[in-house]
């Protein structure tokens, strides 16, 4: 939700902090700030509402020179976006600077205590309360700051990823986390880098430590690193080497990350199935399943948990797993599941789907399921993310970093991996015969090339987008495998163009939404030639009879729907189970172009952040 970056080392911190903030801006971007301890020993803090560019302009030529510093991009939770509420926040008469990603749930109680003890709080944020509370503990106990941070955090309820900078100790940086991600990079010449994820670090070092919940890391300019739990147990850190390349974090000539990521899908889908499907031997390699086969073999139910686009991928998986493996599937919004006192059995297999691997509700939901003995299988895109590390097994989607807030390549990579899993399960359980299995295997292997074919006709989308760019509403309708695609298409449109869009099963239209149909209502049908095609054609005719503007996603050469619709976009005909991998692509492009035509910020849409790491 917010972006965190920190640096301690021989180089000037400011350029590293600003570069990191720009790479983290996709996580939250309503304000930003930096704090450094300058060569003269004084704390220097600059913060500004708006984009990181506003902060840079505000700082101008007089950039800080300190070699230790922290930086933050904010997605507001407590207090509106403003200079005053931007991080870093100061405690201790301005001697301690804190940046924070998370929510301090008991901040009001702490604020009352601090106010009673004479602290003067000037912002609306929970983070400023935390900064003053750390200072209060530091001064009242006389503990060294790392221990004061540890003791203070024992009193904190909620989620946090923090970095603390102490004016009096410029040779030290302190970081801590609970339920919000934090990565420590170990660089050359005793340099340390801290980030909400690896993106601000990977340009400097590939050696990272993923802090675990309730761990406090103290970094020293001499290269020393001490990690303790808030219960004061010493932790031996495990250093990982990350595979991410800095080039993958650039736009590579595209106008926006979202467009780049849409066009990366032939590669990202190929990468997501590479090594998993073996055409020659007719096998699927899925060690995450095979190493825990007993859990899957006796599974009475597959529970799929996710949010947003990942939840839509879960809905596609429901069709896949029930069709191929004949195992009952329930797909749940993680945020609802975690609070509704669900019945969870130790025979359940839980599929947690999350691009970031840090979505708070999904993480909490799998923790609940784990407490009840369910087997957790994570499908994540970010290696080393919290959900990936807390799952019993899993499969990474290998889509590469997805920077655009609107998920595109991550969705198709998720669906590709879930398709592979369902095929493997169906075959091992004897529910999918060899002929059907091989047809799917061959079809899936062809998908990257067919996605490229759809992208080669991307220009047709721009013309159609112009017809809908001024719409105020839109309906997306599909049946079967195309119902989740309709939901995903509607989400893409609303989250980047701010047009109110809804997805429905096409058959559901007559139970209410048809009342919305008039000449001002764009209706996007996904009308691929599958078992329910004729039913969808009837629905199209019902909309046409009421004057709705119809865009239909059809299979190549479909003249019947072409004659009915106002606009069509064609995709190659494939096995219905593989079709979401193709039909979702024109939807992504349609949303992208409509949002651009409406002057929206495609990569950083208003009010959103890439990863919802707080509830």
User: Could you tell me if 506 and 542 are in contact, meaning their C-beta atoms sit under 8 angstroms apart?
Assistant: no
Q: Is 323 in the site for ligand AGP (CB under 6 A)?
A: no
Q: Is 588 in the site for ligand AGP (CB under 6 A)?
A: no
User: Could you tell me if 354 and 390 are in contact, meaning their C-beta atoms sit under 8 angstroms apart?
Assistant: no
Q: Is 402 in the site for ligand AGP (CB under 6 A)?
A: no
Q: Between residues 310 and 584, which has the closer beta carbon with respect to ligand AGP?
A: 310
Q: Is 360 in the site for ligand AGP (CB under 6 A)?
A: no
Paired tokens of 326: 């004949």
Q: Where are the beta strands (DSSP E) in 9-53?
A: 31-37, 43-49
- Give strand pairing partners of 195: 5, 183
The candidate with the shortest Cα–Cα distance to 181, out of 352, 26, 353, 384, is 384
Site string for ligand AGP, 472-501 (x = CB under 6 A): -----------------------x------
Q: Between residues 337 and 437, which has the closer beta carbon with respect to ligand AGP?
A: 337
Q: How many residues bind ligand AGP (CB under 6 A)?
A: 15
Q: Candidates 231-239, 405-413, 446-454, 581-589 — which segment interacts with ligand AGP by CB under 6 A?
A: 405-413
- 25 CB-near residues (< 8 Å, 6+ apart): 3, 32, 51, 52, 73, 604
Site string for ligand AGP, 339-358 (x = CB under 6 A): ---------------xxx--
The candidate with the shortest Cα–Cα distance to 155, out of 80, 217, 230, is 230
Q: Is 305 in the site for ligand AGP (CB under 6 A)?
A: no
Q: Is 85 in the site for ligand AGP (CB under 6 A)?
A: no
Q: Between residues 334 and 393, which has the closer beta carbon with respect to ligand AGP?
A: 334
Q: Is 406 in the site for ligand AGP (CB under 6 A)?
A: yes
Q: Is 308 in the site for ligand AGP (CB under 6 A)?
A: yes
Q: Between residues 14 and 26, which has the closer beta carbon with respect to ligand AGP?
A: 26
DSSP-derived secondary structure letter, 179: B
Q: Between residues 329 and 405, which has the closer beta carbon with respect to ligand AGP?
A: 405
By Cβ distance, which residue is nearest to ligand AGP? Answer: 308
Paired tokens of 118: 């004479």
Q: Which of 359, 391, 529, 539 binds ligand AGP (CB under 6 A)?
A: 359
- 450 CB-near residues (< 8 Å, 6+ apart): 571, 572, 574, 582
- Give strand pairing partners of 158: 104
Q: Is 309 in the site for ligand AGP (CB under 6 A)?
A: yes
- Among 2, 307, 380, 600, which one carries the catalytic annotation? 2
Residue 610 catalytic? Answer: yes
Q: Which of 179, 362, 386, 539 binds ligand AGP (CB under 6 A)?
A: 362
User: Could you tell me if 176 and 162 are in contact, meaning their C-beta atoms sit under 8 angstroms apart?
Assistant: yes
Tell me the closest approach of the beta carbon of residue 374 to ligand AGP, in angstroms: 19
Q: Is 384 in the site for ligand AGP (CB under 6 A)?
A: no
Q: Is 405 in the site for ligand AGP (CB under 6 A)?
A: yes
Residue 527, SS3? strand
Tell me the closest approach of the beta carbon of residue 181 to ligand AGP, in angstroms: 11
β-pairing, 207-210 vs 240-241, is antiparallel
Q: Between residues 8 and 612, which has the closer beta carbon with respect to ligand AGP?
A: 612
Interacting residues with ligand AGP between 19 and 58 (CB under 6 A): none
The DSSP result for 79-110, as a single string, is: S-SSTTTSSPEEETTTTEEEEEEEEETTHHHH
Q: Between residues 13 and 307, which has the closer beta carbon with respect to ligand AGP?
A: 307
- Among 260, 295, 409, 610, which one carries the catalytic annotation? 610
Tell me the closest approach of the beta carbon of residue 364 to ligand AGP, in angstroms: 12
Interacting residues with ligand AGP between 502 and 521 (CB under 6 A): none
β-pairing, 43-49 vs 3-8, is unpaired
Q: Between residues 270 and 494, which has the closer beta carbon with respect to ligand AGP?
A: 494
Q: Candidates 49-57, 256-264, 301-309, 591-599 — which segment interacts with ligand AGP by CB under 6 A?
A: 301-309
Evaluated on CA atoms 385, 193, 162, 224, the torsion sign reads positive
DSSP-derived secondary structure letter, 305: E
Tell me the closest approach of the beta carbon of residue 21 to ligand AGP, in angstroms: 20
Q: Which of 77, 180, 272, 407 binds ligand AGP (CB under 6 A)?
A: 407
Q: Which of 49, 584, 611, 613 binds ligand AGP (CB under 6 A)?
A: 611
Q: Candidates 126-134, 140-148, 287-295, 304-312 — which segment interacts with ligand AGP by CB under 6 A?
A: 304-312
Tell me the closest approach of the beta carbon of residue 363 to ligand AGP, in angstroms: 9
Alpha helices in 298-430 (DSSP H): 308-324, 334-337, 360-371, 386-390, 409-428
CA dist., res. 499 & res. 543, Å (int): 20
Q: Is 612 in the site for ligand AGP (CB under 6 A)?
A: yes
- Give strand pairing partners of 45: 35
Paired tokens of 537: 């054609």
Instruction: Compute how many other C-beta atoms are within 10 angstroms of the C-beta atom of residue 222.
Output: 9
Q: Between residues 196 and 362, which has the closer beta carbon with respect to ligand AGP?
A: 362
Q: Between residues 85 and 354, which has the closer beta carbon with respect to ligand AGP?
A: 354
The candidate with the shortest Cα–Cα distance to 24, out of 55, 64, 68, is 55
Alpha helices in 69-180 (DSSP H): 107-116, 126-141, 145-154
Evaluated on CA atoms 261, 465, 470, 477, the torsion sign reads negative
- Give strand pairing partners of 333: 306
User: Could you tell me if 180 and 126 are in contact, meaning their C-beta atoms sit under 8 angstroms apart?
Assistant: no
Residues that bind ligand AGP (CB under 6 A): 307-310, 354-356, 359, 362, 405-407, 495, 611-612
Active site residues: 2, 610
């Amino acid at each position: 939700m917010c972006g965190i970056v920190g640096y301690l080392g021989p180089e000037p911190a400011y350029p590293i902090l600003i570069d990191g903030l720009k790479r983290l801006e996709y996580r939250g971007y309503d304000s930003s700030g930096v704090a450094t301890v300058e060569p003269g020993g004084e704390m220097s803090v600059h913060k500004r509402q708006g984009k990181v560019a506003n902060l840079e302009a505000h700082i101008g030529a007089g950039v800080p020179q300190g070699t230790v510093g922290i930086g933050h991009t904010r997605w507001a939770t407590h207090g509106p976006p403003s200079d005053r509420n931007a991080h870093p926040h100061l405690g201790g008469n301005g001697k301690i600077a804190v940046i924070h990603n998370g929510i301090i749930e008991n901040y009001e109680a702490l604020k009352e205590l601090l106010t009673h003890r004479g602290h003067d709080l000037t912002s609306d944020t929970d983070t400023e309360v935390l900064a003053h509370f750390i200072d209060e503990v530091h001064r009242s106990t006389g503990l060294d700051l790392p221990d004061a941070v540890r003791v203070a955090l024992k009193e904190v309820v909620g989620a946090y990823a923090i970095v603390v900078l102490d004016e009096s100790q410029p040779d030290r940086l302190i970081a801590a986390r609970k339920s919000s991600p934090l990565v420590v990079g170990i660089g050359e010449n005793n340099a340390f880098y801290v980030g909400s994820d690896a993106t601000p670090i990977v340009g400097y070092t590939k050696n990272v430590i993923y802090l675990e919940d309730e761990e406090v890391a103290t970094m020293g300019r001499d290269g020393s690193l001490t990690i303790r739990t808030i219960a004061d147990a010493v932790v031996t850190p495990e250093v990982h080497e990350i595979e991410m390349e800095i080039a993958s974090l650039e736009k590579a000539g595209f106008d926006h990350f979202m467009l780049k990521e849409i066009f990366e899908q032939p590669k990202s889908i190929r990468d997501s199935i590479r090594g998993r499907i073996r055409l020659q031997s007719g096998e699927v390699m899925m060690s995450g399943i095979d190493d825990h086969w007993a859990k899957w073999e006796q599974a009475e139910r597959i529970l799929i948990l996710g949010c947003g686009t990942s939840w839509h991928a879960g809905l596609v998986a429901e069709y896949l797993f029930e069709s191929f493996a004949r195992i009952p599937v329930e797909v749940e919004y993680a945020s609802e599941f975690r609070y509704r006192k669900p019945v969870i059995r130790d025979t359940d297999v839980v599929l947690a789907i999350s691009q970031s691997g840090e979505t708070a509700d999904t993480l909490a939901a799998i923790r609940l399921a784990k407490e009840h003995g369910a087997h957790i299988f994570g499908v994540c895109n970010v290696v080393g993310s919290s959900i990936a590390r807390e799952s019993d097994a899993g499969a990474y989607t290998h889509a590469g970093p997805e920077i655009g807030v609107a998920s595109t390549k991550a969705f198709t990579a998720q669906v590709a991996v879930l398709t592979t899993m369902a095929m493997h399960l169906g075959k091992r359980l004897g529910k999918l015969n060899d002929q059907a299995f091989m047809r799917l295997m061959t079809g899936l292997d062809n998908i990257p090339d067919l996605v490229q074919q759809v992208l080669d006709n991307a220009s047709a989308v721009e013309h159609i987008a112009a017809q809908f760019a001024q719409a105020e509403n839109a309906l997306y309708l599909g049946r079967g495998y195309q119902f989740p695609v309709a939901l995903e298409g509607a989400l893409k449109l609303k989250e980047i163009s701010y047009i109110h869009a809804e997805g429905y099963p096409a058959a559901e239209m007559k139970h209410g939404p048809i009342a919305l149909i008039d000449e001002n209502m764009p209706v996007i049908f996904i009308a691929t030639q599958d078992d329910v095609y004729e039913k969808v054609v009837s629905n199209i005719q019902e909309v046409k009879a009421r004057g709705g503007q119809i865009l239909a996603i059809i299979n190549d050469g479909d003249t019947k729907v072409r004659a009915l619709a106002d606009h069509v976009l064609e995709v190659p005909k494939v096995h219905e189970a593989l079709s979401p991998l193709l039909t979702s692509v024109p939807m992504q492009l349609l949303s992208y172009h409509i949002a651009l035509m409406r002057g929206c910020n495609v990569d950083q849409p208003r009010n959103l952040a890439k990863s919802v790491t707080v509830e």
